[in-house]
Amino acid sequence: MSNIAYGAPGAPCPTSMTAIEAPAAAERPHDGKSRRGGLDRRRLDHLLGFMTSLADATLRKAFVAHMGDLKLRPVEFSILALLAVNQRVTQKKLCLALDTPAPNLVVVLTRLQERGLLRRIRSEEDRREQHVELTDEGRQLADLAHARSQAMEAGALSVLTAGEQLLLFELLRKIATGGRPA
């Protein structure tokens, strides 16, 4: 891979994937077909959304392998993780943090509340708001899930160097925030 892909000093900023050096012919299937399903993916491989979907599928498998017995879905894990380190969290703040529509979030919060993992408390300052907080059981599960998450993606990310992993996170964060500070 050329240094252009990694922003070498003085290198022009690539405006498309064509600016990034392609793998050598021996590294890619000679017939243009993917190893997944044997189908020609040339009309999809240039799409970041398609590639992130494939990467997401790999990462979701890792999530299930590490969290499956905890009976947590990714969004539930995210909610527990946010509640574990934030005070005075409202449903609105959770919606914004997770980019989730309010009706969808209410369903997930209800499910977590029924499991005894969180409680919703009407705000004393503004009766229209509900604060969401972990129960003791929820905190224990959040801590256990967090500990497991430390190694969860290691296998999938092992194909990248430490520098590439940092760059990937930085670039994805930039796309996710629209270039605004996180």
pLDDT digits (tens, 9 = 90+) for 114-157: 999 999 998 787 778 889 999 999 999 999 999 999 889 998 89
Decide if 138 contacts 118 (C-beta within 8 A). Answer: yes
Can you give the pTM of this predicted structure? 0.74
Residue 163: per-residue pLDDT: 96
Give the torsion through C-alpha atoms of 159, 162, 163, 168, to 10 deg: 60
Residue 177: per-residue pLDDT: 87
Is a pLDDT exceeding 60 seen at residue 27? no
Number of neighbouring beta carbons within 10 Å of residue 169: 11
Residue written as tokens 């900023």?
Answer: 13
Residue spans per domain, the chain: 70-149
Is a pLDDT exceeding 50 seen at residue 25? no
Alpha-carbon span 8 to 107, nearest angstrom: 47
70-149 adopts what CATH topology? Arc Repressor Mutant, subunit A (1.10.10)
Alpha-carbon span 143 to 153, nearest angstrom: 17
142: CB partners within 8 A, 6+ apart: 80, 81, 83, 84, 134
If phi > 0 it is left, if psi is from -120 to 50 it is alpha, else beta; for residue 16 that is beta
Give me the residues paired with residue 90 across strands. Answer: 131
